[in-house]
Structure 1
């Protein structure tokens, strides 16, 4: 987790990939630390097949209720939700709804992205970012390498 308490932390999870982010969020919003008080933005995107598989939903909604200025929460339920085009709602489909905002955040030095879960989500997210970066004349794959080197793009997929 970034040391900067004013950072933007974007978490992208599918299924059980939510586990490390739950601990991030607990540290940010529920635990008391003398040396750390989170004042930034934590934005969680959680993708699952059915709403019954939304792990820790009530817990995350409580965090959002208690910290509305610091926590955003978006679910993508692929077998139950669709986007405006009628496509299944995968994590990258949900992210596409906020594409411009996410791209602006990614251009900041204090934004950190963490991805954990099924390997399949990585390509879908790259596909969104390629077109957004291209609008600014940036090659996404090169930019992503820079983010990784700066420890701002962290991926653990399986």
Structure 2
């Protein structure tokens, strides 16, 4: 290996102290290419088509049921029908069946029931609510006969409501 020297002020020669970074860059580029090729092979995902709706505006109908679900520090679930607290899952089930029965009678029977006039259950879940509370509420409403159970969320500030 040769050492290159540079002349300073004429006759005196001193060795150069610069590092040749070209081999280091070459090795890094080769490693980068290897990782770019290897990473997609390692990642395994299930192909899923996600919905294209960022936020969909809720259509409020008078026959819809508004539920609020929250949990306390002891792990107990609290479900509110509008502002009325439900004491148990059986109370929620009874009230939901009664509401659905009344709506079917108003429409003139099951034959007049369509997806457009079917009442929906809208659930507002507190961010700190355990999943078992929300899951049990969904199950109870579906058991009562509500075919459409949805979640009400608060979009981040400054976002527009659009359909994609």
TM range (shorter): 0.3 to 0.5
Structure with the greater alpha carbon radius of gyration:
2
More helix per residue: 1 or 2? 1
TM-score by length of 2: 0.31
